[in-house]
Amino acid sequence: MLEKLVIFGIGYVLGTRAGKERFDELVSMGKKFAERDEVKMALNLAMGFLEDRFSSTAEQRRAA
């Protein structure tokens, strides 16, 4: 029983370390992706579209 607990503990520690390293890698990749000019341009276009769409909808509701 003690042997199984020790093996589980070692596996848990190694797994969480590997998981954190992978998480940090994914965060780094996401930040690099978000810094690309193409992504910034697409985000600005989408935000502009949504602002125009929903601001006109909000104005129509206020007028009614």
Q: Enter the pTM of the model.
A: 0.56
User: What does the H/E/C string look like for the chain?
Assistant: CHHHHHHHHHHHHHHHHHHHHHHHHHHHHHHHHHCCHHHHHHHHHHHHHHHHHHHHHHHHHHHC
Our count of domains for the chain comes to 1
Q: Which domain holds residue 40?
A: 2-63
| Residue-level pLDDT at 59 | 67
Q: If we measure between CA atoms, which residue out of 55, 58, 31, 34 comes closest to residue 44? A: 34
| Residue-level pLDDT at 42 | 93
| Residue-level pLDDT at 47 | 92
| Span 6-45, pLDDT tens digits | 888 888 887 888 888 888 988 999 999 999 999 999 999 9
| 64: pLDDT strictly greater than 80 | no
Q: Which two tokens stand for residue 41?
A: 């341009």
